[in-house]
Amino acid sequence: MKPAKFEYHAPKTLDEAVNLLGRYGEDARILAGGQSLVPLLNFRIFQPQALISINHCAELAYLRVEPDGLVCGALTRQAEAEQSADVQDTCPLLSAALPWIGGVSNRNRGTVCGSLAHADPLAELTAVAMALDARFSIVGTKGRRQASAAEFFLGDLTTCIEPGEMLEAVHFPRSGKNASAAFVEVGNRWHGFAVVGVGAHVECDDVGVFQTVRLSAIGVGSTPVRLTESEKILQGTRGETQALQEACNVAAVDLDPPGGFHADSAYKSGVLGTLVERALNETQALRLQKEAR
Amino acid sequence: MTTHQSNDFVGQRFPRREDQYLLRGEGLYLDDLAEPHNTLHLAFVLSPHAHARILSIDVSEALEVPGVVAVLTGEDFVSLIKPIRPNIEMPTYLYTDRLALALDVVRFVGEQVAVVLAESKYAAHDAIELVQVEYELMPAVVSLEQAISEGSPVVHEHVAGNIAFRGEFASDDFATKHAAGKYRLRERFRHGRVSGSAMEPRGCMAVPIRGEEITFYTSTQIPHIVRTEIAKHVIGCSESALRVVVPEVGGGFGVKAQLYTEELISVALCLKYRRPIKWVQDRREDLLTNTHARDHIYEMEATFDERGVLTSLELELYTNIGAYSSSPFGGTIETTGGARQIVGPYKLPNYAYRCYAVTTNTCASGVYRGVAQPACFMAMEGIMDRIARQLNIDPLEVRLRNIVLPGDMPWVNVLGVRYDTGSYQKCLELARERSGYEDFRRRFPGSRLKDGKYHGIGIGNMVELTGTGAPGWRVRGLQAVSGIDGATIRVEPTGKVSVFVSQANAGQGHFTTFAQIAADHIGVRPEAVTVYEGDTASTPFGTGTFASRSAITGGGAVIQAAEKVSNKIRRLAAHELQVEPNDIVLQDGRARVASDPSRFVDFEKLCLLAYSLGKGALPPTEVYGLEATEYYDPPVVTVANAVHIIEVAIDAIDGRVAIENYYVVHDCGKVINPMIVDGQIHGGIAQGVGEVLMEEIVYDEHGQLINASLLDYLLPTALDVPDLSTLTIDHVETPSIDSLGGFKGVGEGGIIGSVAALTSAIYDALEGIGANVNSVPLRPSHIASLIRAARQSAPDPEATRAKQELTAAH
Amino acid sequence: MSSIETTTVELVVNGKRYKRQIEPRLLLADFLRHEIGLKGTHIGCAHGVCGACTVQIDDKTARSCLHFAIDVQNSEIKTVESLATPEKLHPIQQAFHESHALQCGFCTPGILMTTEEFLRGNPNPDDDEIRKALCNNMCRCTGYVNIVKAVGLAATSMSAAENE
C-alpha cells in the first residue's frame, strides 16, 4: 500500500529534533535509515502523525573512538561502521555482525542506532549490544539519560525509549587487545533473516587463556539473550574441547525460544549450542590468523 | 513442404532483441504505461475474515476523503458483472460461482468486498481504510485435512463435504491385478501450498477510446481468453469494441494465466464512468489474492515384482482448490493433472485413481509452473526410491527397468495418452554417466554421514506434457481454453516481414524465437522480421502462453503461415522469372532460381506487384496482398523429457541443505534457441529449489494468511541455486513427430525435474537413518527434527528398515 | 519545515535538477516513476526485500521504495537510465545481453544498479563474491545463473577497457 499521510519535519539540529519529539510525543517517529520503519509505513502498520527525519542533523553523524570505547551517533550508517578500521579495532563484534544485516543497499542507509531502537528480536546488532554491555544514550525534552543493554531491550520491538525521547548514540566498550569476535547465523535461506544467530567476543591473555567471554543470541527470545552460563564455563579456560562442549550444551538450558512456522522452539534450542561452537571456533581461527602475522 | 531447408536460424544461439530496451529500463510494464489525464485509480477493501456473512457496508467516511470519486460494493456490481463460472464440463463437477465483488458472503481472507475509485492511488489507499464493513463470522475450514474430515464446515452450501469435483479411473480388471501384486508399498506424500510470485505484481488499465470502444491493458498471459471472458461477463461490453493489449509482463508463471475479478471490474467501471480506470496491486495483495498452487495429498499404494518393475499403482489424490474454482482452468486442473500425469515415463500397466478437488476458505488455486507435475513427480519418484530401498536395488536402475524404451515409441500409456517421441533411456544413461551418480554411490557405500553432513543423491526422471491442443483441453473438460493458436505473417511493401502471434510472453524471448522460425521458413534474416504479440486488434485468436505450449502452437502457426506466404512469394517470383515455382529458393529476402542462381528478384520488387505499386501487374491467377493467417491445433500433446540428478549435503544439526552438484539432461525436441532453453531450465531449477526448501503459503487455523510478504514468504536468492561450477546441463534433441516444427515445450521442465530430484536427494540422504522424507517444503527445522527423531528412536538401522516395509501410509 | 499537504521539492536525478510539488509521503520510487517519468525503476514489493527498486543515492545503492523523495533532496540520485548512452549500452548492460542474464526484465534495472556499485568497489570478483553481492536482488525468471556469468563478464570487459 501507499503510506498514510504524515507531517514531515527535517530538523537541522538535535535540539530541534528533541523539541519536535516533545511536541508530538508518541504520535511521531524518528526517520533515519528507514530500512525497518518504512516497510511498516508502507504496510500501514504504523501511521504516525509526524515523521521527524534526523537525516539532516549533521551533529548526529559521528563515529568516534573514545578512550573507553566506540560511540556511534544516531546517524552512523551501518555501511560506514562496516568499513571502518576503527570499528574493527575497538569493537570487532560489531564489525563481524554488520555484514549479516540485509544487503549493501540496506546498510548504506540503515543506521546502527536505528536497528537498535527498532529492536527487532532478530536484529543482529541487538545481540552485539547485549553481549558487549553497550550503553544507550537517550535524549528527550527532560534531558539525557543512560540505559544499559539489559534495561534497553524490553521485548519484541519494544525498548525503554519513552514517547518524546530518541536514541542519540550508543556506546560500545572498547575491547581489550587480543580480542577476536565472530557472528554466525542460520536461517531458512542461505541469506536472509536469521532463525537463530550468535555473537561471540573473546579476549585472551598472552598464553591464550580466556579472560573475557561474551556470548549472546538472537532468535531465542523476544529480546537478545546473554548466554551467561556458557560464558562462565569458558572463563579461565583455553576453549578446549571439553569446556567448549559443556558451554554449548548449557546454552539453551532455561530458554524457551518462541516457535513459529519458520522454525519451532525445539529447533532453536537444538541449534543454539552448535552456533556457539561455530562462533567460538571462528574467533579461535581469527586469533591464530592474527598471531601468524 | 519447407522452402528453406537449412534451418540457418532455428537452433542458433541468437541474443535477444528484447534486451536493448529492457536493459535501458525502457520496457513498459503495466504501471509504466502513460496514464490519461483523468484516470481513476482503484483500490480494494479486502475481507479480513476467512468465512463471514457481510451484514453492512458503510462507505460514507471513505467518500469524504479528498480525491475519492466513488466507493462501490457488491450490490453495485450485480447489474454490471455476471457471476464467474469457469466453463468446465466434467461429470461430478460442481460449480462454485464467484461474484466480482462479494455480495452476501466472503469465503477467504483477501476476497474483495468494496472498491474505491479515486483521482490518485494514494487517495484510494486512504479511503479503503475508512470503509466500515460489519461481518458475522462463520466457521471456516482452512486445511485440506480439515476439509475432508467428518463434520467439517463447508465453503459452499451445495458442495457437500467440500468435494467440488471427483474424478476416477481404473484400468481393466484393476482390483484383481492390484491384489495379485507380489511386493507392495504404501506411502503418503504431502506437498505444501505455494505462490508463483512473479517479480511484477498484477495490474490492469481500461481506457475508453471512442464511443463504446475500450482498450484494456492487462498484465496477462491469455489476452484472447481474457477478452472473451470479459465480453461474456461484463454487461454491456461488446467483444468487438474491446481490445486487449498486453504490455511488458514482469513474469507470469501461470499466475497471470487467469481471469481475475479486478479485470472485470476495471472494464465495467470504465464503461460506467467513461474514464480510464487503473489498478495495480501491491505484493501483499499478490500473495493474498493471486492464485495459489499445489497443496496436495497423494495416498499411494504400488505393487511391483522382484526386479522392481511396477505392476500396479493406486492413487488417491486430494487437491486444495481454495474457496472458488478459478477461471478459465477451474479447480479441476491440478486434480486431473496430478492424477493423470503421475504415470510419467514409466510403463505402469495397471493404474487406478480417485482424485478430489477440495474447497477450503483460502485463496483460489490456479495454474503455476508445472501445474501438479512437480508434486505428482515428487510422489512417483518417491515411489521409485522406495521400491529401490525395499528390494535393495539401485534407484536409478529401478527407473531404467520401468521406463518406456525406444522400441516402444510411440507409446500409449495406461490412460491412453500418447507419448510421441522421447529419449527416456538415453537421458537416464547419460545422466548416470555424466552426473557423478556412480561416483557418489562409490563414495558412500554405507553411512551417509561425513564431516557432520548427511550426503544424498536424488533423481528426478520426468516427462512433461507440452503443447496441449484442443483435444487435450476437452479431455479435461475445459471448454473456455480453445487450444489453438494463430499467426498472421505479412511481407510489408518494403520487403520487411511482420509476424503477429496469438501469444503473450512474459520473458520467454518470443520476439526473438518467433523471428528465428519465421525467418527460416520465409527466407529472410531474423533482423528483417518484427514479431508482435499480445494485442487482440492485430494478433489472431489464440489460447495464450502457458503450459509449455508457445514453441509448439505459436511456432506451428508461424510455420503454417510462413509456408503460405513463401509459396505465394515463390509463385510471384516464378512468374517474374519465367520458371516453375519449385525452381525458386528463398534466402536473405531474395527469390533465386535454384537451377540458375545468377537470376533472382528481391522480395521488395514482388511487393510492388502484390500491393499494386509500380508498373508491373499481378499474374491473373493471384490476388493482392502478401500475407496469410493460419491457425494451428497441435494433436493432443507432445511429450518432452528430462532427468535431473542432484547431490546434496545436509547439516546434521542445523538441517540446511547444500547443493553439491546439479546435473540436467533435457530433451525438448527441436531446439529453437539453446540459450533461451537453458534460461528456462535455470529459472525452473531456482523455483524448484524454492518449492522444496523454503516456499510455503501459511494459513493459520482461522484462515489468516500469515506470511503475506516477501519478508516471510521466502523466495530463493543467488546463494540458493547451484553455482556455475556445480551445474551441468546437457541437451538431447528428439524432435516431436506430432508438432509441426518438431518442437516440444520447455517452460516447465526445469521445475518439474527439480522438485522431484531435490526431494529424492534429501530422502536418499536420510532414509538410512530411518527418516522418511515424504513432504515438502523441507525447512531446516523440519529436516533437523527428522534427523533428531531418527537418531533418538532407531539405534538399529536394520530394524528401522524392517519397520518401514510394513508401515502403512503416514 | 513541516508539511502534510503538498510541498516543493528539488531533486537532482541523473545529473538533472527537477522541481516538483509533492506530498511528503511520496516514495522516491514513485517520484522517479510518476513525477519525472523515469519508469526504469520498478516496484516489486515496497518492503525493501526484492531490490527491483534499487537506485543509487550519492553513488551508493538504496531501495527507492523505502525513501521519501522529500527526505533525499540534497542528494544525487542515479537510476538505470543513467547507464547507457543513446548510442551504446553500458558494459554491464552489454554483458547482461551477451549472457542472456534477463528474461522478463522487471528485476534487471535494480540488479544493474547493484552490479555497478559492486564492480566499482570490487573490479575483479570471483563467483562467490558475485553471488553474495547479488543475493539481495530477487529474480524469478533467470535462476541467477546467467546473471552471475554476466557480472563476471562485465568485470572482465571493464578491466580490459581500463587497461587499454
Which CATH number do you get for residue A193?
A: 3.30.390.50
User: Which of residues A124, A143, A173 is at a domain's end?
Assistant: A173
Alpha-carbon distance of B783 to A264, in angstroms, equals: 12
Structure confidence by residue, pLDDT tens digits, B603-650: 999 999 999 998 888 999 999 999 999 999 987 789 999 999 999 999
User: Which of residues A173, A197, A231 is at a domain's end?
Assistant: A173
Structure confidence by residue, pLDDT tens digits, B462-514: 999 998 888 888 888 888 899 999 999 999 999 999 999 999 999 999 999 99
CB contact under 8 A, A186 and B656: yes
**Chain B partners of C139 at a C-beta cutoff of 8 Å?**
199, 686
Specify whether C116 is located in the same domain as C152: yes
Q: How confident is the model at residue B806 (pLDDT cuts 50, 70, 90)?
A: very low
Q: How confident is the model at residue B799 (pLDDT cuts 50, 70, 90)?
A: very low
Distances in Å between the Cα of A102 and the Cα atoms of A92, A194, B442, C18, C50 are 19, 10, 41, 31, 11
Structure confidence by residue, pLDDT tens digits, B773-795: 999 999 999 999 999 999 888 66
Question: Beta strand pairing status for B657-667 and B727-732?
Answer: parallel
Contacts of C138 (CB under 8 A, 6+ apart): B199, B710, B715, B717, C44, C49, C50, C51, C52, C107
Contact assessment for residue B479 and residue B90, using Cβ atoms and an 8 Å cutoff: no
Specify whether A154 is located in the same domain as A65: yes
Residue B746 scores a pLDDT above 60 = yes
**Chain B partners of A45 at a C-beta cutoff of 8 Å?**
none
Over range B323-336, report the average pLDDT.
94
Instruction: Please list the alpha-helical segments (H only) found in B664-772.
Output: 674-693, 749-766
A1 in a domain, yes or no? Answer: no
Over range B411-434, report the average pLDDT.
96
pLDDT for B623 = 96
Structure confidence by residue, pLDDT tens digits, B267-321: 999 999 999 999 999 999 999 999 999 999 999 999 999 999 999 999 999 999 9
Residue B802 scores a pLDDT above 80 = no
Question: Beta strand pairing status for B242-245 and B214-218?
Answer: parallel
Alpha-carbon distance of B753 to B747, in angstroms, equals: 12
**Chain A partners of B707 at a C-beta cutoff of 8 Å?**
261
- Residue segments in chain A with a per-residue pLDDT below the cut of 70: none
B793 in a domain, yes or no? Answer: yes
Specify whether C113 is located in the same domain as C57: no
Q: How far is CA B117 from the centre of its chain?
A: 33
Q: Which of C33, C46, C140 sits opposite B715 (nearest CB)?
A: C140
Specify whether B326 is located in the same domain as B416: yes
Question: Beta strand pairing status for B497-501 and B485-491?
Answer: antiparallel
Residue B536 scores a pLDDT above 70 = yes
Grid coordinates belonging to B494: 518494403
Specify whether C73 is located in the same domain as C126: no
Burial of residue B38, with CB atoms counted within 10 A of its CB: 0-12 exposed, 13-18 middle, 19 or more buried: exposed
Specify whether C111 is located in the same domain as C157: yes
Structure confidence by residue, pLDDT tens digits, B356-371: 999 999 999 999 999 9
CB contact under 8 A, C24 and A1: no
C86 in a domain, yes or no? Answer: no
Specify whether A207 is located in the same domain as A275: yes
pLDDT for B480 = 87
Interface of C with B in 89-148 (CB under 8 A): 89, 93, 96-98, 100, 102-109, 112, 127-128, 130-132, 134-148
Structure confidence by residue, pLDDT tens digits, C39-52: 999 999 999 999 99
DSSP letter at B98 equals B
| Vertex B696 angle, CA A184 and B286, to 5° | 110
HSE-up of B304 (CA within 13 Å, CB side)? 26
Instruction: Please list the alpha-helical segments (H only) found in B148-247.
Output: 174-179, 223-233
Q: Domain span at residue C27?
A: 7-79
C15: domain CATH number is 3.10.20.30
Distances in Å between the Cα of B131 and the Cα atoms of A42, A90, B113 are 19, 55, 10
Specify whether B657 is located in the same domain as B768: yes
B592: domain CATH number is 3.30.365.10
C103 reaches A (C-beta below 8 A): no
Residue corresponding to grid cell 529500463: B25
Q: How confident is the model at residue B804 (pLDDT cuts 50, 70, 90)?
A: low
Q: How confident is the model at residue C2 (pLDDT cuts 50, 70, 90)?
A: very low
C105: domain CATH number is 1.10.150.120
Alpha-carbon distance of B269 to A185, in angstroms, equals: 51
Please tell me which residue of chain A has the smallest CA distance to C74.
Answer: A56
Other C-beta atoms lying within 10 Å of the C-beta of residue A44: 15
Q: How confident is the model at residue B810 (pLDDT cuts 50, 70, 90)?
A: very low
- Number of helices (H), then strands (E), belonging to chain B: the values are 22, 30
Specify whether A47 is located in the same domain as A15: yes
Alpha-carbon distance of A30 to C75, in angstroms, equals: 20
Contact assessment for residue C134 and residue C144, using Cβ atoms and an 8 Å cutoff: yes
A254 in a domain, yes or no? Answer: yes
Max Cα-Cα span within chain B: 94
Structure confidence by residue, pLDDT tens digits, B17-50: 999 999 999 999 999 999 999 999 999 999 999 9
A252 in a domain, yes or no? Answer: yes
pTM for this model (two decimals): 0.96
The candidate with the shortest Cα–Cα distance to A11, out of A20, A3, A2, is A20
Residues forming beta bridges with residue B57, ordered by sequence position: B133
Alpha-carbon distance of B91 to B158, in angstroms, equals: 16
User: Which of residues A123, A142, A173 is at a domain's end?
Assistant: A173
Q: How far is CA C18 from the centre of its chain?
A: 19
Specify whether B267 is located in the same domain as B212: yes
Contact assessment for residue A100 and residue A94, using Cβ atoms and an 8 Å cutoff: no
> Helix or strand or coil: residue A133?
coil
Specify whether B371 is located in the same domain as B495: no
Q: Domain span at residue B227?
A: 33-138+202-280
B689 in a domain, yes or no? Answer: yes
Alpha-carbon distance of C24 to A72, in angstroms, equals: 28
**Chain C partners of A39 at a C-beta cutoff of 8 Å?**
46-48, 66
CB contact under 8 A, C63 and A3: no
Specify whether B661 is located in the same domain as B730: yes
B149 in a domain, yes or no? Answer: no
HSE-up of A184 (CA within 13 Å, CB side)? 18
CB contact under 8 A, C27 and A2: yes
User: Which of residues B608, B632, B656 is at a domain's end?
Assistant: B632
> Helix or strand or coil: residue A58?
helix
Grid coordinates belonging to A171: 556506546
The candidate with the shortest Cα–Cα distance to B461, out of B754, B687, B62, is B754
Contact assessment for residue C100 and residue B674, using Cβ atoms and an 8 Å cutoff: no
Q: Domain span at residue A154?
A: 60-173
C37 in a domain, yes or no? Answer: yes
Contact assessment for residue B721 and residue B433, using Cβ atoms and an 8 Å cutoff: no
User: Which of residues B280, B315, B333 is at a domain's end?
Assistant: B280
Contact assessment for residue B241 and residue B212, using Cβ atoms and an 8 Å cutoff: yes
Please tell me which residue of chain B has the smallest CA distance to A259.
Answer: B781
B214: domain CATH number is 3.90.1170.50
Specify whether C100 is located in the same domain as C73: no
Other C-beta atoms lying within 10 Å of the C-beta of residue C85: 8
Over range B436-459, report the average pLDDT.
96
Average pLDDT, chain A: 96
DSSP letter at C34 equals I
How many domains does chain A fold into? 3
DSSP letter at B361 equals S
ipTM of the complex: 0.97
C84 in a domain, yes or no? Answer: no
Strand order of the sheet with strand A179-186? A179-186, A196-204, A210-218, A225-226
How many domains does chain B fold into? 3
pLDDT for B2 = 40
Helix (H) or strand (E) holding B214: strand B214-218
